């Protein structure tokens, strides 16, 4: 396929490289001066989007997505797929999808899970909103960039799935870290706690696959000084999106709201900025009941 790819940062760059390596003709654009192996760079987003079968965007937020969409939608050819892989608010995703449909394009919102490692290894999971026709046209690309793509329903539902998933993740990581800190104070060995919890009703991805305690369970960022696999800053962004969506939908999400407040404090007032989101554990280790 002829593909335009806009947003070639830590996630978009490896994704575009994988598409080029698979034999697709990829034209890219980024506001920064970057180069990606196998990707021909364009002078503007509109140039990268012109006459492509698929245009992929990977952008920081909904405001930037709306601005880029305003530039590239008029340049895209009718019937092309507009595949946005950014994590943004549901309202922006649906507004951009409506704009694309009005221009006879096929929009998909397809935020990802898997982080930079997944982007590099082509093992991302895509949560996809949009029409069956658009999903079918992009299926081969999902197979190159990831290991799984789930069609979640109409436009905006991909973002809804990502936001709900990461609200669960943020809350479960907090309570996993709290539990390890409590176990320490109760004199319970961390390995013993892991061996019990990981095979009983406390089982979770945060415990079993991404354990926040160094030296316990599979290799994780905790074993690398909490260098980010998934940064606390990004978790904060996703939790804010969850509460923005909850406000619009009139949904009661007290645990999501509490998780947001804790990550706001951790990132903006403490030492969480630039650290992995599981670095909540050393935070709780240092704190008492007050």
Enumerate the active-site residues. 162
| Cβ partners under 8 Å of residue 175, min gap 6 | none
Number of helices and strands (H, E) in the chain?
12, 9
Which tokens in the block code for residue 149?
């793509």
Residue labelled with tokens 């509460």: 243
Would you give the DSSP letter of residue 276?
B
Cα separation, 273 vs 159, in Å, equals 24
Nearest to 60 by CA among 91, 30, 19, 15: 30
**Radius of gyration, alpha carbons of the chain:** 20
Nearest to 48 by CA among 26, 64, 81: 26
Q: How do strand 106-109 and strand 81-84 relate by DSSP bridges?
A: parallel
User: Is 6 within 8 Å of 67 (Cβ atoms)?
Assistant: no
> Cα–Cα distances in Å, from 97 out to 79, 114, 134, 166?
13, 24, 12, 23
User: Is 85 within 8 Å of 57 (Cβ atoms)?
Assistant: yes
Which tokens in the block code for residue 93?
């995703």
Cα separation, 140 vs 144, in Å, equals 7
CA of residue 102 relative to chain centroid, distance: 27
């Amino acid at each position: 396929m002829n593909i335009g790819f806009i947003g070639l940062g830590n996630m978009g760059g490896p994704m575009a490289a994988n598409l080029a390596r698979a034999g697709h003709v990829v034209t890219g654009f980024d506001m920064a001066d970057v180069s990606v192996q196998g990707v021909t760079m364009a002078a503007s987003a509109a140039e990268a989007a012109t006459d492509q079968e698929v245009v992929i965007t990977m952008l920081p937020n909904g405001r930037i997505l709306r601005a880029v969409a305003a530039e590239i939608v008029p340049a895209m050819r009718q019937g092309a797929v507009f595949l946005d892989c950014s994590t943004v608010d549901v309202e922006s995703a649906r507004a951009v999808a409506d704009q694309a449909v009005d221009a006879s394009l096929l929009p998909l919102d397809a935020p990802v899970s898997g982080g930079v490692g997944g982007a590099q290894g082509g093992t991302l999971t895509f949560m996809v909103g949009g029409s069956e026709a658009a999903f079918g046209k992009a299926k081969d690309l999902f197979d190159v960039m990831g290991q799984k793509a789930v069609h979640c329903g109409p436009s905006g539902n991909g973002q809804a799935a990502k936001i709900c998933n990461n609200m669960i993740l943020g809350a479960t990581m907090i309570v996993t870290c709290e539990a390890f800190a409590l176990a320490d104070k109760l004199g319970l060995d961390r390995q013993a706690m892991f061996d019990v919890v990981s095979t009983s009703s406390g089982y979770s991805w945060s415990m079993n696959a991404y354990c926040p305690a160094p030296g316990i369970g599979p290799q994780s960022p905790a074993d690398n000084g909490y260098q980010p696999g998934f940064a606390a800053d990004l978790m904060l962004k996703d939790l804010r999106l969850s509460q923005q969506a909850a406000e619009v939908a009139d949904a009661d999400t007290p645990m999501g709201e509490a998780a947001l407040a804790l990550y706001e404090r951790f990132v903006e007032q403490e030492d969480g900025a630039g650290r992995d989101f599981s670095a909540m554990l050393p935070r709780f280790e240092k704190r008492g009941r007050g």
